[in-house]
Amino acid sequence: MSTPETPKSLILLEAIPDGGFAEVEAEVEGSAESLILYREGHAVRAWLNVCPHAGRRLDWAPGQFLKTGDGLLVCAAHGASFELARGECVAGPCRGESLRAVAVRVVDGEVRQDVSAG
């Protein structure tokens, strides 16, 4: 229904707290997926909401993610901790593995899926 080059709007930037998270549904490579969005000022990073440890969602309730005082995202299932620059697990059962990044960009105050980046 949408052309491959059309960036898909996922959420308004202002709907994500600065330094916080949101969860959205998006189509990634033809499959409906849950995404973790993390906002830092005007920048947003996104990953599949799938933990590399056992494949569970990381949120404890839809859109509710745990963040430590020193800025790590913690999987609610078994406590794997991920740094938020690259989504790499730095502590816990999947240390050294990473969340799978999804390309997004902020345009006109909207977070859009960057489908051109594949």
Stretch that binds ligand FES, among 17-25, 30-38, 51-59, 102-110 (CB under 6 A): 51-59
Q: How far is the CB of 36 from ligand FES (least distance, A)?
A: 12
Residue 27: closest CA among 57, 4, 58 = 4
Is the CB of 54 or the CB of 85 nearer to ligand FES?
Answer: 54
Sole binder of ligand FES in the list 13, 24, 36, 53 (CB under 6 A): 53
* Interacting residues with ligand FES (CB under 6 A): 51, 53-54, 56, 75, 77-80, 92-93
